[in-house]
A and B are shown apart, each in its own frame.
Chain A
Amino acid sequence: MARKPKRPPRSPAIRARRPIARRSRSTPPTPGLDLHRCEQFLIHEARLLDEGKFDDWLALFTPDAWYWVPSEPDQPDPHQTVSLIYDDRRLLETRVRRLASPRMYSQEPRSRTSRIVGNVTIETNDRNACTVRSKFMMIEYRREQQRIFGGTALHRLVQSHGRVMIAWKRVDLVNCDAPLDGITIPF
């Protein structure tokens, strides 16, 4: 069961990394992806989600990104086992577009969420791409009921032209295999 997750090919953003020598002398070099920048990025992402700016959130993802919330602890693969959410880029766009629909009845009334991101560590790091591990807690309030979600997030962050983007994101909920009421707001 210790198979590595099958992942789509790396983002063009990584392959298109420019050699340092070709960078113009007149602009200062882009800083690498250090812990502070990663942490700031995750906080920014959480804020976009809490504020319901889902289009801006979607814009953080690379063109071939995937977003994954497994249904089992240590789930090795999104294609051989069901997932609470497994969206390739095309489905993620559809999900975000639906979130804006006035006829999304499972969001009538809308949820309000509040997230805390912490325990951020960099698991693997190249200069312009790294895998970041973090813990999160999210409170979701909707229609007189409050739910708490918590777990571990893994972000593959890539940097292209000075911009940080998400190549993939995996969210492992501590209660991923529990009976759950519907999940509509991304983690």
Chain B
Amino acid sequence: MKPYCNQHHLSGFVLLASVMAVVPTASADVSYTSSATLLYTINSITNLDNPNDLSGLSMSGSFLELTGANDFYAATSGDGSYQTNTPNFSGALSPSGTFSVNGHSALYGSVNTLHTGVFSMDFSNTGTNSYTVDVKLDYWLNAVTNGIYANSAIFLDFWDTNNNVSGVDYAAAGTYLDHAYDSQSVSGFADLVFTLAPGASNRFIAKVGSQSGLDSSSTAPVPMPSAFWLFAAGLLGMISVKKMGSIDGRVL
């Protein structure tokens, strides 16, 4: 009889360990962040007709978050949530700022978002002189994911409306089992040199799109922690009852 009882002890232990193995041992806290930091720097401005005179030339930075159907969506479930941080992107000589998107679920939920922002540097010449403008765009793209499961990607497109320069870049991060944290940072720059004739204008644009998602529910087969403990307590009780029944060889 005794070995029989011991066998039940072992079975119960293995079963409990198995159940515990499929329940997250830590919080299902899952998050993502994607961000783009941009800096426009005026390297030089040359008046081709009248040196040292900048009359009629205007420059300004601006940021616009796009919310049309082609540039934005957001879907959440459970305790999933998201937020954006938009930059105060203004100034004439070196506007800079960071556009970021965060998603989060602490326990049980999902988030899927697309956010799009447009950084612009506008140049116009209402004067009578022509100018050569040398402007540099520096950018830093960053994608971070934390917890199982999350994925975040940030796309950058830059160009000027006079078709002198264009380019793309990309950063992404994703987590999966045994890889609960991921990040990628990408940086680069682009130089735009152009001539602005009297009455002309140009716009140096950087479009940033963040496609991201997370799902904490995929790793949480028992939605509420209390449910797990209730289940485990019941299981322990059953093991105990069965053990008692086996001592005298009867099935209860």
- A and B from one complex: no
Q: What residues make up the interface of A, taking CB atoms closer than 8 Å to B?
A: none
